[in-house]
Amino acid sequence: MEIIRTALDGVLILEPRVFRDDRGYFFESFSKREFDRKVAPVLGHGINFVQDNESRSSYGVMRGLHFQRPPFAQSKLVRCVEGKVLDVAVDIRKGSLTYGRHVAVELSGENHLQLFIPRGFAHGFAVLSETALFQYKCDDFYAPDYEGGISICDETLGIDWKIPSDKAIFSGKDTLHKCLGDFDSPFSVDMDFYPEVGHHMINDR
């Protein structure tokens, strides 16, 4: 597994090693041993995933930009099993030098890339293929009373979702989120986002 850093601290692209032959392919989509050995030292702390989720969506569906408020904030490790999505993480940590900036990565059943989104970031995706099967791991359980979001249509974020406006499909709930300029984030850059996990030295091997 190769770890690719992005322009946002802690947001990582994970590229698995894929074994291919005339029968098809094989790869490890997740190994806690490999994650702890390669990803945790980059983050400076461990991650304990406790819930797996899956969604199927049709072309033009846009989900996000979601997060859970403390004390139930979530990290996510996401991938697209079938089809293709544009996956986006937005920094919503007040005081961060990259506050409001985003990373956008195409995840597909062909490239097998995964995106790790830490706590303190909003997450969303848009379906670019006819359908998409999307899976993600979370390090805290779903807590509906602590759901939050910012508008996926906020033009000030500068995200090119690659979906024509007349083809975009949203849930009613997602249309109610505020734009970043009107949003009071529950996160700040000086928070301890992972008080429950062991911390690693950055240079661990």
In this predicted structure, the answer to whether residue 204 has a pLDDT above a threshold of 80 is no
Query: One of 66, 102, 123, 177 is an active-site residue; which one?
Result: 66
Query: One of 45, 112, 123, 136 is an active-site residue; which one?
Result: 136
Q: Is residue 199 part of a domain?
A: no
In this predicted structure, the answer to whether residue 108 has a pLDDT above a threshold of 90 is yes
Half-sphere exposure of 166 toward its Cβ, with a 13 Å CA cutoff?
0
Give the tens place of pLDDT for each residue, 24-63: 888 788 989 999 999 999 999 999 999 999 999 999 999 9
Residue type, 114: Q
In this predicted structure, the answer to whether residue 158 has a pLDDT above a threshold of 90 is yes
pLDDT of residue 205: 30
pTM of the predicted model as reported, rounded to 2 decimal places: 0.92
Q: Is residue 197 part of a domain?
A: no
Provide mean pLDDT across the span 162-166.
95
What the block records as the tokens of 15 is 């590229």
pLDDT of residue 18: 82
In this predicted structure, the answer to whether residue 203 has a pLDDT above a threshold of 80 is no
Q: Is residue 196 part of a domain?
A: no
Q: Is residue 82 part of a domain?
A: yes
Q: Is residue 198 part of a domain?
A: no
The percent of residues in the chain predicted with pLDDT above 90, rounded, is 86
Indicate if 66 belongs to the active site: yes
In this predicted structure, the answer to whether residue 188 has a pLDDT above a threshold of 90 is yes
Provide mean pLDDT across the span 66-92.
97
Residue type, 199: H
Domain range for 174 is: 2-188
For the domain that residue 124 is a member of, what is the CATH number?
A: 2.60.120.10
Domain count, the chain: 1
Q: Is residue 205 part of a domain?
A: no
pLDDT of residue 24: 86
